[in-house]
Chain A
Amino acid sequence: MKAVSEAAVPADVRPAAKRGSRFWTIALRNRYLYLMSLPFVVWVFIFSYYPLWGWLMAFQRFKPGKSILEQQWVGFDQFKTLFRDDTFYLVMRNTLAMSLMSLVAGFATAIVFALLLNELRRMAFKRIVQTISYLPHFVSWTVAASIVTRMLSSDHGVVNDLLMGLGITHEPIQFMANGHLFWGIVTVSDVWKETGWNAIIYLAAISGIGPELYEAAKVDGASRIRQIWHITLPGIRSTIVVLLILSIGHLISIGFEKQFLLGNNLVVDYSQVLDLYSLQYGLQMNRYSFGVAVNMFNSVVSLALLFLANGIFKRTTKESIM
């Protein structure tokens, strides 16, 4: 019925007025759709858009209790404090080190794992291995940290038992108490937890490669290693590059969960990362403005890295995300 009355409208109304009334006619017809989305529009505004005002705090000396517009403006003072803080440079070193180690190890293991899985001939075995491999992805970092500290424990942890059994070391290594080992521990934990999961996307890309390429290579007498090198790897190259660019964008925003949960006072010089620094030296000391300045530095550098990586890959490999 509504459709009939609407079809009748344009015939006797002038174009300008027609456009206006047409908008409202459709709006009226869309009323349920508007009603259904309105609560979420408000919700998204409150939780995602409104807090963006908080970025202004980085240029203020924020004191709780007053509104953000009544605060004292201090320009770039918070950033000056940040760049003058010796801890900041230590934190940057740790962040970049762990980030790069995880990036390299994470990419290498996931790609190699996907390639090896793809070479398995027994489908049942392949499925079992794959199913097992991404189990750790679904447990929380609290569980992972609990497991890792147990495995590396100097008190009959598996790793120490193994090392001593093989005669590599004669007394248990204090893994969790040695700062020099912390970066490695975080990297290995990350690899243990995420390799299987990260390999999924490569496996999907590999399954998209046409079988005729392999057939042709076989006719030419290419060995399997050569097939992997000349067909499979080039076939997933664009996937690798896109993921690499995205990861480089996240190079300094690596979060803090692993470092928070695996770290302790003995290794703090190696475990403190940027996000943890903002949490402990900003939020937990009520230095809100300083914390926001740290986060802002983080966002700006991430964005710059993303564009840089994108530009470099665009020139060298003709692949990019933008």
Chain B
Amino acid sequence: MTTARIRRGAPVSERVLDAAIVVVMIVVAIATVYPFLNVLALSLNDSTDSVRGGITIFPREFTLKNYNVIFSFGGLLTGFKISVLRTIVGTILGLISSSMLAFVLARPDFQARRALSVYLAVTMYVSAGLIPTYLLIKDLHLMGTFAVYVLPGLVSAFNVFVIRSFIDGIPYALQESAKIDGANDFTIYWRVILPMTTPALATIALFVAVGQWNSWFDTYLYNATSPSLTTLQYELMKVLQSTTTGNNGDYHNATSMTQVLATVSPESVKMAITIVVTVPILLVYPFLQRYFVKGMTLGAVKG
């Protein structure tokens, strides 16, 4: 359609329109990217020099000091480790559990298939809410544990249904022939279906991994008093809260942090942490945009 419209002798008004659209799009693209580049430049610039202003997308006095400072602060190093760990563990466990359930739900000969589908689908629309969940976590003694990052969100009904619709597209005859060869259902799942589901699994893996990496509220709510279980997002949130004017009802203050930060300005540190938190997302971004869009349309059509 678009190529069909390209005409050499297009009227002037059409060409003006084209040019206007291109200009608008360039402005949008710059408005999207510039803030990231500006923050990157500030994070690599000497903190006393930054105060003078005028930094755009290149650092004026290049230094890695801001990064040295944040990584010499134990809290951030721990936060980094825990964030990486929860992303890996949460993604692996999430993938295994979602795909296993999806496999079971995709089996036409499974008796409880419909009941189980409904049982699971209900959780997409009904949620107990913040406080009952909080009390549950407390009663299960999950406060101050690593498990609280992984367990409550282990199975997402949406992800299960996305994988199931993918498995539905794999010919059932494959499973039947494996069965004739003497494989049990678990073997069929593990050896036959799982390897064939990789495109869907890649999508879900990215969904889960980005969610894990980006979450801060569970740390704030459940693990705020366990410094050994802090996450990078939560550390960034604390710096944000302590540098903006006033405090937003935070549980506890960030004084220890502020003392360490005395050597460089809090603003520079904030910029450096922001970059550290963003870079992993940028690294997987090429995959993200390839699989996410696919996953989103998959969910929209079948979910």
CB within 8 Å of B: which residues of A?
23, 26-27, 29-30, 32-37, 39-41, 43-44, 46-55, 57, 64, 113, 116-121, 123, 125, 128-129, 131-136, 138-143, 145-151, 153, 155-156, 158, 161, 176-177, 192, 196, 200-201, 204, 211, 214-215, 218, 223-225, 257, 260-261, 263-266, 275, 278-280, 282-284, 288, 291-292, 295-296, 299
B136 touches A283 (CB 8 A): no
CB distance from B89 to the nearest CB of A (A): 16
| From B4, B128, B129, residue with most partner A Cβ within 10 Å | B129
- Give the number of chain B interface residues (Cβ < 8 Å): 97
Residue of A nearest to B286 (CB): A131
Q: Which of A51, A145, A204 contacts B133 (CB 8 A)?
A: A51
B214 beta carbon closer than 8 Å to chain A: yes
User: Per a CB cutoff under 8 Å, which of A27, A43, A117, A134 touches B111?
Assistant: A27
Known: A30-B110, A41-B116, A265-B246. A155 touches B53 (CB 8 A): yes
CA A292 to CA B134, docked complex, whole Å: 11
In contact, A147 and B36 (Cβ under 8 angstroms) = yes
Nearest CB of chain A from residue B237's CB, rounded to whole Å: 5
Q: Give B247 Cβ to nearest chain A Cβ, in Å.
A: 7
Closest chain A residue to B188 by CB distance?
A32
* Given A113-B28, A129-B28: 20 more A-B contacts, CB < 8 Å: A30-B112, A33-B107, A33-B112, A37-B100, A40-B97, A48-B127, A53-B132, A116-B21, A121-B5, A129-B29, A146-B271, A146-B273, A150-B38, A150-B270, A196-B32, A201-B296, A224-B14, A265-B246, A278-B130, A284-B251
A14 to B110, CA, bound (A): 24
B172 located at the interface, meaning its Cβ lies under 8 Å from any Cβ of chain A in the complex:
no
Name the contact of A292 in the complex, choosing from B39, B132, B237 (C-beta under 8 A). Answer: B132
DSSP class of A's interface residues: helix, strand, loop or mixed? Answer: helix
A319-B91 Cα distance, complex, nearest whole Å: 38
A200 to B109, CA, bound (A): 37
Q: Given A116-B24, A192-B32, A295-B131, A34 and B278 touching (CB < 8 A)? A: no
- Contact present for B249 and A150 (CB under 8 Å): no
A280 to B215, CA, bound (A): 19
- Asked if B186 lies at the interface with its beta carbon under 8 angstroms from chain A, I say yes
Q: Report Cα–Cα, A10/B56, bound state, in Å.
A: 81
Contact A150 B35 (CB under 8 A): yes
In the complex, are the beta carbons of A292 and B281 less than 8 A apart? no
Interchain CB contact under 8 A, B293 and A200: yes
Interface of B with A (CB < 8 Å)?
Answer: 1-6, 13-14, 17-18, 21-22, 24-25, 28-29, 31-36, 38-39, 42, 51-55, 97, 100-101, 103-104, 107, 109-112, 116, 119-120, 122-123, 126-136, 140, 151-152, 154-155, 184-186, 189, 210, 213-217, 233, 236-237, 240, 244-249, 251, 267, 270-271, 273-274, 277-278, 281, 285, 288-289, 293, 296-297, 300
Q: How far is the CB of B10 from chain A (nearest CB, A)?
A: 10
Assembled-state Cα–Cα distance A311/B288 (Å):
37
**6 A–B contacts from the bound complex (CB under 8 Å):** A44-B123, A52-B126, A119-B21, A146-B240, A149-B240, A264-B247
Whole-angstrom distance between the alpha carbons of A218 and B11 in the complex? 13
CB distance from A316 to the nearest CB of B (A): 24
Q: In the complex, are the beta carbons of B274 and A52 less than 8 A apart?
A: no
Contact of A283 among B18, B130, B278 (CB under 8 A): B130
With A and B bound together, what is the CA distance between A293 and B55 in angstroms?
49
Which residues of chain B have C-beta atoms less than 8 A from A118's C-beta?
2
Q: Are B134's CB and A283's CB within 8 A?
A: yes
